[in-house]
């Protein structure tokens, strides 16, 4: 559908994530200063709810630790626990279990 509509899934970067007005140049390459400003303000982003509504206490993390994690790391925790839960595990049965998880993310 996106291909037929000649569109993509990129959205305007919301100010709740990053104030693009400070760095955005409307004149493209003409006044672009590499590493100082940008000529685009859209990106492939997950929703604010997905990025900012993480139950850090459930995973034994402080708010500061959760704030320093990327949204992808939040998803690893959430989906990882969901997978274990669906496999019959609970927080109680997981405590002390020797489980190793490998994650590749770039």
Domain that holds residue 29: 1-45
Q: What is the pLDDT of residues 30-76, one digit of tens each?
A: 788 888 888 777 787 777 777 778 999 999 999 999 989 888 889 89
Task: Check: pTM over 0.75? Answer yes or no.
Answer: no
Same domain, 2 and 27: yes
Same domain, 58 and 96: yes
One domain, residues 98 and 57? yes
Instruction: Determine what percent of the chain falls in helix, strand and coil, rounding each to the nearest 5.
Output: 40, 5, 55
Give the confidence band of 3 by pLDDT, cuts at 50, 70, 90: low
Q: In terms of domains, do 57 and 75 share one? A: yes
Cβ 17 vs Cβ 45: under 8 Å: yes
Count of domains forming the chain: 2
CB distance 25 to 38 below 8 Å: yes
HSE-up (13 A, CA, CB side) for residue 34: 0
């Amino acid at each position: 559908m996106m291909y037929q509509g000649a569109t993509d899934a990129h959205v305007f970067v919301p100010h709740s994530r990053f104030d693009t007005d400070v760095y955005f140049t409307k004149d493209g390459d003409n006044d672009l200063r590499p590493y100082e400003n940008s000529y685009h303000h859209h990106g492939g982003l997950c929703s604010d709810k997905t990025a900012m509504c993480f139950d850090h206490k459930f995973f034994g993390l402080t708010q500061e630790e959760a704030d320093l994690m990327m949204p992808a790391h939040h998803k690893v925790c959430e989906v990882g626990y969901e997978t274990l839960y669906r496999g019959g595990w609970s927080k109680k049965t997981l405590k002390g279990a020797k489980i190793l998880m490998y994650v590749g993310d770039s």
